[in-house]
Amino acid sequence: MSLSENDLWLLSYYRSSEINGALFFGRVARTLRGGQLQAEVTHHFADEAQHARYWTDCISDLGYDAEKLRGAYQDQYLEAAGVPANLMEVMAITQVFEKRVIGQYRQHLRVPNLHPRIRQTIEQIMVDERWHVQYVREALAEMEGRYGAEHVAETLDRFTRADQEVYAKTLAEYGERVDFLRRADPELP
pLDDT tens profile 40-65: 999 999 999 999 999 999 999 999 99
Distance, CA of 139 to chain centre? 18
Q: Residue type for 153, please?
A: A
pLDDT, one tens digit per residue, over 88-146 is 999 999 999 999 999 989 989 988 889 999 999 999 999 999 999 999 999 999 999 99
Say what the pTM is: 0.90
User: Identity (one letter) of the amino acid at 151?
Assistant: H
Domain contains 135:
yes
Cβ atoms within 10 Å of 51's Cβ, excluding its own? 23
Q: Is residue 28 part of a domain?
A: yes
Total number of domains constituting the chain: 1
pLDDT number for residue 152 = 98
- Of 89 and 74, which is predicted with more confidence? 89
Residue 63 domain-assigned?
yes
More confident residue, 170 or 54: 54
Q: Which residue has the higher pLDDT, 35 or 174?
A: 35
For residue 20, being part of any structural domain is answered with yes
For the chain, how far is it from start to end, CA to CA, in angstroms? 29
The predicted pLDDT at position 183 comes to: 57
Question: Are the C-beta atoms of residues 81 and 93 closer than 8 Å to each other?
Answer: yes
- Tell me whether residue 189 is in a domain: no
| Structural domain that includes position 125 | 5-184
CATH of the domain at 43: 1.20.1260.10
* pLDDT for residue 176: 72
Could you tell me if residue 53 is inside a domain?
yes
169 falls within a domain: yes
Compute the distance between CA of residue 107 and CA of residue 112 in angstroms, rounded to an integer: 11
Residue 57 lies in a domain: yes
Name residue 20's amino acid: N
pLDDT of 33 strictly over 70: yes
Q: DSSP assignment, residue 32?
A: S
Is 24 a residue whose pLDDT tops 60?
Answer: yes
157 Cβ contact partners less than 8 Å away, ≥ 6 residues apart: none
